[in-house]
Amino acid sequence: MSKVTGTSRSFGAPGKYIQGPGEIQKIKEYANLFGENVFVLIDGFLFDITKNFLTLLWEDEQNKLTIDCFQGEICDEEINRIMDLVSDKSIEVVIGIGGGKTIDTAKVIANQINAATIIVPTIASTDAPTSAVSVIYHQDGSHSHELFHKKNPDIVLIDTAIILSAPSRLLVAGIGDALATYFEARACLESQSANFVGSGYQSTLAGRAIAKTCYETLLKDGLTAKISVEQQINSTAFENVVEANTLLSGLGFESTGCAGAHGLHDALTALPETSKYYHGEKVAFGTICQLFLENRPWEEINTVIDFCISIGLPVTLEEIGIRNTTEEHLMPVAIEACKSYLFQAEPVSVTKEAIYGSIMLANTFGRQRKESKKRR
């Protein structure tokens, strides 16, 4: 993580952000703003139904439309496979439809071929849609590196009718990812770490305000939004949380920076037992660890833990699949985390022992807090 190198500040954002029920019906209209030759990458889970829908929309221009199914992991091999598919088609617009990894892959392809980018999330589980960043993994699912693109998506189009139909666990995972935004922004500000827009820039007042609003929105509307999804009710709280998970968190992390919560997430991916848990679920636990690492006030830590418990986010290692809590098993995670550039954004001294200690404190107090609530 680079440090602020002067007084200049920066802010990154997509060209347009559009959210509401039924908005996907306008996808061709938006694509036409940028060109005729369109490539669409679709999440495998939604491929058949989405391909049929798009084929009908482009019924009279089938020769202008190329559709492919994302193969499940954003890795060099998958990126190269798709590049071979589109390299000779003069693609002007890339549309990514699906979850975070599908979206991040679409951003890579669009930037490599200099095409416009339209992102259509089908879940609100990450803040990937708005950013000019793609997180790259190895084929086995372990974290590899980040790619920083020259521009943000041109349009982010969110059909909340689709988001509402997804399992509530996905929305909650997005809340876990968004939960880190404010605390990581604060860490970066205190350590004078640069954001992800350019090189060496500090955050803007707008970026900091967005990060804070993101946290406040989650606390106020998070539980109601989860219940709304479970009951299939499109409430104001649900729409607010979709915006917080996607737009506020996306603008917040890119324009203010990331820190320990995401650094710990990346290290946790090295443990195979965590692979079935979502990005945001691991980030939520990482957020609690970050607060212990920074020795934040008890009131704040308890607020975060209690909120996570109320909506079903992990507050213990067992809840992200880690049952072996011995030092022998977890110290390698702390060692790996200590290597992460994201921990350079922490406003405190960071050692592998300090990270290990924060993991154990978060696990211990998370478990105690859950047990105390059960007894009430």
Among all residues, which ones are annotated catalytic?
177, 262, 265, 279
Is residue 28 packed enough to be buried (19+ CB in 10 Å), middle (13-18) or exposed (0-12)?
middle
Give alpha helix (H) positions in the chain. Answer: 27-31, 47-57, 76-86, 100-112, 160-165, 168-191, 205-231, 236-243, 249-256, 260-268, 279-293, 298-311, 327-339, 352-375
The number of angstroms, rounded, from the C-alpha of 73 to the middle of its chain's C-alpha atoms is 15
Length of the chain: 376
Based on its alpha-carbon atoms, the radius of gyration of the chain, rounded to whole angstroms, reads: 20
d(CA 304, CA 306) in angstroms, rounded, equals 6
Tokens standing for residue 286: 């990482």
Render 210-241 in DSSP notation, one character per residue: HHHHHHHHHHHHHHHHHHHHHHT---HHHHHH
CB neighbourhood size of 87 (10 A): 11
The residue type found at 106 is A
CB burial of residue 361 (10 Å; 0-12, 13-18, 19+): middle
Query: Strand 16-20 to strand 155-159: parallel, antiparallel, or no bridges (unpaired)?
Result: parallel
Would you state the structure tokens that stand for residue 135, as one six-digit string?
Answer: 């997180």
C-alpha 227/C-alpha 10 separation (Å) is 37
